[in-house]
Structure 1
Amino acid sequence: MDTGLSRRGLFGASAAAAAILAGTTSAAASPHQSQMTLRWWGNNGWEIRVGTKTILIDPWLTRFKTGTYTPAGADPKTPLSVNKALIDGYLDRGELRADHILVTHGHYDHLTDVPYLAKRTGATVFGTETHLSLMAALGAPEDQLAIASGGEDLTFDGYSIRILRSLHSATGERARVPFPGSRPLSRRDRPRVIEDLYEGGTLAYQVTGGGASVLDFGGSNYVESELAGLRPDVVLVPVGGAKVTQYVPRLLRALGNPRYVAATHWDDFDLPLGQAHDPNGGLETLRKAVAATSSRFVVLDHLGEFTP
């Protein structure tokens, strides 16, 4: 039976993978399957294809080591780097392109590769003032940068993008946002280490086209009032959210229990692309939360595809 997932979209047959997927409801193909395809690039990186158009969310292929999932946590002085050869390989083989790039927030694991991808693809990039100033300082073409505040509902050729105000994950005992702040910069203030990339406000994005809609959150939190009336077919939900009251149930109720919940931002992004590993059990916690609802749970491996 066609499950809507590519063959490389699910984990390999390891014991850990089998345990994760044992309780997962497979995403059965709809009789009205859409013309939208989603591909997961690890972390919160997503490629959304609608016909000949491609929208990227938080693409980060370089995935350098920071120590994020060690007891000490990420080293804030970790140098920023962009693996241009890796990115060029995907671009030159035609496996990656972009008409729009959507940035949810300014942290290194969401923004670092975007300036180079924008330069190579010519894509229009949406983000807050801080996100755009960070990218300009990193060399992004400024005429491709489009400011967003949340509330925009924009139509393009074959798809639309709705931009929502959102919230970053609240972590630790004090429920703090890592590397917080919103600071307009100049090109002289080039970010060099990961703590230089501020959160800068957080946005969520709903992309609609090809007979389907998908809603993405870049952090495990949200502004519930922004979700009123939204009924996406797919919601991309980050793991975590332990400090957020009724994180998953409240979110899915607000969205009318979407057909599909796809896990995002669950892998150890200190590991290279192609080595999807859940470092702290967040994927299983999310699976159990979704299992208590009528939504179907989707888990992809790196570069796995899904058609809602």
Structure 2
Amino acid sequence: MDTKLQGYWLGHSAFKFVSPKGNIIYVDPFLKDNPSTPDALKEVEKADFILLTHGHEDHVGDTLEIAKKTGCKVVGIVELIGLLTDKGLSEDQAVAFNKGGTVRFDDFSVTMVSANHSSSFDGKYAGDPAGLVLSFEDDLCIYHMGDTNIFTDLTLYGELYEPHVVLAPIGDHFTMGPQEAAYAVEMVNPNLAVPIHYGTWPPIDSDPNEFKEVLQEISDVEVLIPDVGKEFLNTD
């Protein structure tokens, strides 16, 4: 993997990536009201893209504020993007697509795949939940699973997209717990697994080390448990 790509976990399911050409990409930017996001990272000054897995408040987060401030593109499923434009997102910034579709940008693409969960925004149906496959130059691929439980399509996603990195929810209660998440990752079979969507509030206070232990028992996938706000990925 010769591509230079930087990645930061911002707590819960939120990520910041800086692409090889310098595009600043946020995924599920739930920051200001996220108790696990460091104060220094709650304000976003620059962004080129926001990618959304689904409409729940702890994923859409600060999207509208960031979009208005930075002029970034906001990318997500058709129904959710429609609801966001109703709330003031500029049509020029909206990028709506659907499952199985791929949208291509300067030096990366995003493919939308299924997630087995629910989705709403502001009390309204926000389309199906999704996972997002981010493909960068030199075929470096990151799969953000969104909020999901285990389902058999994951094996196909592993075969089709061959992701190097999988970002997997482990918190339980609202998503998979550590054991189910470990088996889900084993189905995808990436090089590296990163546990997410845990520790934010008491109901999802799962132990990432349990996830790591289970996964290491059933596969040879490496597990990285990153510190919130610290760089965990740099392919320079």
Q: Quick check: 2:170–2:198 contact (8 Å CA) kept in 1?
A: yes
| TM-fit CA distance, 1:282 | 3.8
Match of 1:213 in 2: 141
Mark the runs of 5 or more structure 2 residues left unpaired by the alignment: none
Structure 2 Cα separation of the partners of residues 144 and 49 of structure 1: 19
Q: Name which of 16, 19, 22 aligns with 1:50.
A: 19
Q: Quick check: 1:125–1:146 contact (8 Å CA) kept in 2?
A: yes
For 2:54, give the aligned amino acid: H
Match of 2:208 in 1: 283
1:263/1:55 Cα in 2 relative to 1: closer, same or farther (>3 Å)? same
Structure 1 Cα separation of the partners of residues 176 and 64 of structure 2: 32
Match of 1:201 in 2: 128
For 1:280, give the aligned amino acid: D
Equivalent runs, 1:111-260 vs 2, <5 Å:
111-168=60-117, 177=118, 191=122, 196=123, 200-211=127-138, 212-221=140-149, 223-225=151-153, 227=157, 228-240=159-171, 247-255=180-188, 257-260=189-192
1:249/1:42 Cα in 2 relative to 1: closer, same or farther (>3 Å)? closer
1:181/1:99 Cα in 2 relative to 1: closer, same or farther (>3 Å)? closer
Structure 2 Cα separation of the partners of residues 266 and 42 of structure 1: 8
1:301/1:222 Cα in 2 relative to 1: closer, same or farther (>3 Å)? same
Deviation per residue, 1:172-216 (Å, 9 max, x gap): xxxxx5xx558xxxxxxxx4xxxx365631111111214421100
1:155/1:279 Cα in 2 relative to 1: closer, same or farther (>3 Å)? closer
Mark the runs of 5 or more structure 1 residues left unpaired by the alignment: 1-31, 66-82, 92-96, 169-176, 183-190, 271-277
Higher strand proportion (structure 1 or 2): 2
Structure 2 Cα separation of the partners of residues 112 and 197 of structure 1: 16
TM-score (norm 1): 0.63
**Identity across aligned pairs (percent)?**
23
1:58/1:241 Cα in 2 relative to 1: closer, same or farther (>3 Å)? same
TM-score (norm 2): 0.80
3-state SS, counterpart of residue 163 of structure 2: coil
Aligned pair count reads 222
1:122/1:210 Cα in 2 relative to 1: closer, same or farther (>3 Å)? same
Match of 2:55 in 1: 106
- Deviates further, 126-135 or 106-115: 126-135
1:54/1:86 Cα in 2 relative to 1: closer, same or farther (>3 Å)? closer
Considering only CA atoms, is the larger Rg found in Structure 1 or Structure 2? Answer: 1
1:139/1:282 Cα in 2 relative to 1: closer, same or farther (>3 Å)? farther
Match of 1:39 in 2: 8
| TM-fit CA distance, 1:125 | 1.2
Query: Is structure 2 residue 224 aligned with structure 1 residue 298?
Result: yes
3-state SS, counterpart of residue 286 of structure 1: helix
Structure 2 Cα separation of the partners of residues 244 and 279 of structure 1: 10
Q: Quick check: 2:150–2:181 contact (8 Å CA) kept in 1?
A: no
